Structure 1
Amino acid sequence: MTLAARLPFTFGVSQFTTQPWTFDEDVERYARLGVDTIEVVEAKLDDVRHAEQMESIAAAGLAISGVQPAVRTFFASRMMPRPTNLKDRVAALRGSIERLARFAPGRPFITNTGAHPGGDTAEAMRMVGDALGELAHVAADHGVTLALEPLNPTSVNVESAIWTIDQALEVIDRADSPHVGLCLDYWNIWQNADVAAQIARAAGRILTVQASDWRTPRSFADRIVPGDGAIPLGPLIAATRAAGFEGAYVVEIFSLDVADSLYDQDLEAVIGRSRDGLAAAWTASVQA
């Protein structure tokens, strides 16, 4: 597959989308496939070569849209069960910022709440808001931001304590820092009640946007290519643009434990199809 024509928006890909590839393969292939920005997944970095790998991104002509820290939840979650102590998890996130911020100036480090061990959503929102407020000073000192992501209700009490944009904004308000904002993942929030109004209320606080598409999940990780499912991406992009967001639209796909896993398919073709799907949704957003 060759370099594609320029799009009217910034096209990004998360390294979660190409989980079977190595970090180095991601960088080389994204650049060749016409991807503009990369969402870095810290877990894919080599501990010894991480500085060289991060520097290779700019050398390949890619920008960084955001960073997914190795430990990105404040409470334990299915994907990241350890450490179990909140203090240790905050320390791990702080370490990720200190390690990687110099390679991604001005970019968001993406977080979510994790699953409160007792299912206490109210307490989780208070505790995460306070922890984000504490980490905001670290982010400010290192020239980056923190983006809180509400997850889909399928992840409640498994990966997350919150599932709506409004809940995330309440936590962000509690953090009380210009260095804390929202990660808007369409797969997670498209079923929110009055979602366009919620996106409008997030105006000025959307730090990164992620896209994939929805079918009724067959597993814990079953997302599909943008444009292949039920999510009304055009109207969501229109609402996001109306809220003032001008950053990258990042394809983030998880595809595990399903018979037709995208991870078992031609991932270069998956990127190309995702690009085309987002381009069609962008056109629809202009016409909305």
Structure 2
Amino acid sequence: MSEQELLSRLSLNQITTERWSLKEAAEGCARAGIGWIAPWRHKVQEAGLAESKRYIRDNGLRVSSLCRGGMFPAATAGEREARLDDNRRAVEEAAELGADVLVLVCGPSPTPDIAQAREWVREGIEKLAPFAKQHGVKLAIEPLHPMYAAERSVIVTLAQANSLAERFSPDEVGVVVDVFHVWWDPELYGEIKRAGSRILGFHVSDWIVPTPDMLLGRGMMGDGVIEIRKIRSAVEAAGYRGPIEVEIFNQAIWDMQGDEALALTKERFLKHV
């Protein structure tokens, strides 16, 4: 694959430039020659859905995904239904923005019963999937690193995500392979092959040693220990040829000027992805 072909797949996951509004991020992508963007819902809500759509359209961008839905487990049936309602709104937002993928960060357990929480995740996706299909949006389960099990997601391996996705049609539910969350897994390459056509997204960053922060510790590609290119090759061998999102939670990168961060992103993307 040529550099130009690879660069054509680069998508800015908006969290990488957290200080930018959606308008600023869209304009920055246009200046940098990045053709894809993955907005976060809080940024869309700040701008308004109609204005967000206009910013993306006017800057000639395509939307690789919307982040995020999920967070299904809750202590009461009423709370779980409220979260499902919010997920339906997320589906509608994704459809309006032209995103055919809604990323699901499935949510932590509200009690010590983690098995029950995983069952609530399954139930939530089961209820949401038909609604998403009606809107032309696929649900992409993103397994998170196990260190996030108590705070962000009880789905912590690609095997778990695959098993959950396989309960549904491939045109309804798939998975996201995020190298930060899965690189450590001894079953990774077998599970990537198993996911196959269900892979709906591929996210890149790096794992810094020592890890400076549990949440804001992701590194720019090349600053850590992840075999990013090997994982990309496996994802492509499984059939995924879609956009590749750079998704980095890191205060030092957030503190950069946005255009500087995008320039570094492009450089490292071509060198290490």
Instruction: Return the TM-score normalized by structure 1.
Output: 0.86
1:134 CA drift (Å): 1.4
For the 8 Å contact 1:16–1:252, the answer to whether it is kept is: yes
For the 8 Å contact 2:142–2:175, the answer to whether it is kept is: yes
1:55 CA drift (Å): 2.4
User: In the superposition, relative to structure 1, how do residues 173 and 46 fare at CA in structure 2: closer, same or farther (>3 Å)?
Assistant: closer
3-state DSSP of counterpart to 1:75: coil
- Per the alignment, residue 42 of structure 1 pairs with 41
Q: Which residue of 248, 258, 270 corresponds with 1:279?
A: 270
User: In the superposition, relative to structure 1, how do residues 127 and 176 fare at CA in structure 2: closer, same or farther (>3 Å)?
Assistant: farther
User: In the superposition, relative to structure 1, how do residues 45 and 75 fare at CA in structure 2: closer, same or farther (>3 Å)?
Assistant: same
Q: Deviations over 1:229-288 (max 9, x none)?
A: 1111011011011000010010001114xxxx2111233222222222222234xxxxxx
- Per the alignment, residue 206 of structure 1 pairs with 199
User: In the superposition, relative to structure 1, how do residues 218 and 60 fare at CA in structure 2: closer, same or farther (>3 Å)?
Assistant: same
CA distance in 2 between partners of 1:46 and 1:85 (Å):
21
Q: Deviations over 1:213-243 (max 9, x none)?
A: 1113222221111122111101101101100
One-letter identity of the residue aligned with 2:267 = D
Work out whether 1:88 is the aligned partner of 2:82.
yes
For the 8 Å contact 1:225–1:270, the answer to whether it is kept is: no
Residue ranges of structure 1 left out of the alignment (5+ in a row): 77-82, 283-288
For the 8 Å contact 2:110–2:117, the answer to whether it is kept is: no
CA distance in 2 between partners of 1:34 and 1:74 (Å):
37
Q: Which residue of 165, 180, 183 corresponds with 2:176?
A: 183
For the 8 Å contact 2:180–2:206, the answer to whether it is kept is: yes
Q: Deviations over 1:172-212 (max 9, x none)?
A: 12345631110111101101113111111110100011111
CA distance in 1 between partners of 2:101 and 2:154 (Å):
21
For the 8 Å contact 1:28–1:60, the answer to whether it is kept is: yes
Instruction: Return the TM-score normalized by structure 2.
Output: 0.90
CA distance in 1 between partners of 2:262 and 2:112 (Å):
37
CA distance in 1 between partners of 2:199 and 2:104 (Å):
13
For the 8 Å contact 1:39–1:68, the answer to whether it is kept is: yes
- Per the alignment, residue 190 of structure 2 pairs with 197
User: In the superposition, relative to structure 1, how do residues 140 and 48 fare at CA in structure 2: closer, same or farther (>3 Å)?
Assistant: same
CA distance in 2 between partners of 1:27 and 1:213 (Å):
24
3-state DSSP of counterpart to 2:167: helix
3-state DSSP of counterpart to 1:21: coil
3-state DSSP of counterpart to 1:253: coil
- How many residues matched? 266
1:114 CA drift (Å): 0.8
Work out whether 1:262 is the aligned partner of 2:268.
no
Q: Deviations over 1:87-145 (max 9, x none)?
A: 1111101012123413215x111112211122433322222122112111111111111
Give the stretch that moved more between structures: 115-124 or 210-219: 115-124
Query: By percentage of residues, which structure has more helix?
Result: 2
CA distance in 1 between partners of 2:173 and 2:223 (Å):
32
User: In the superposition, relative to structure 1, how do residues 184 and 98 fare at CA in structure 2: closer, same or farther (>3 Å)?
Assistant: same
For the 8 Å contact 2:22–2:47, the answer to whether it is kept is: no
CA distance in 2 between partners of 1:84 and 1:187 (Å):
34
For the 8 Å contact 2:162–2:191, the answer to whether it is kept is: no
- Per the alignment, residue 91 of structure 2 pairs with 97
Residue ranges of structure 2 left out of the alignment (5+ in a row): none
User: In the superposition, relative to structure 1, how do residues 7 and 178 fare at CA in structure 2: closer, same or farther (>3 Å)?
Assistant: closer
CA distance in 2 between partners of 1:99 and 1:254 (Å):
23
CA distance in 1 between partners of 2:11 and 2:78 (Å):
32
CA distance in 1 between partners of 2:132 and 2:199 (Å):
16
User: In the superposition, relative to structure 1, how do residues 48 and 166 fare at CA in structure 2: closer, same or farther (>3 Å)?
Assistant: closer
1:49 CA drift (Å): 3.4
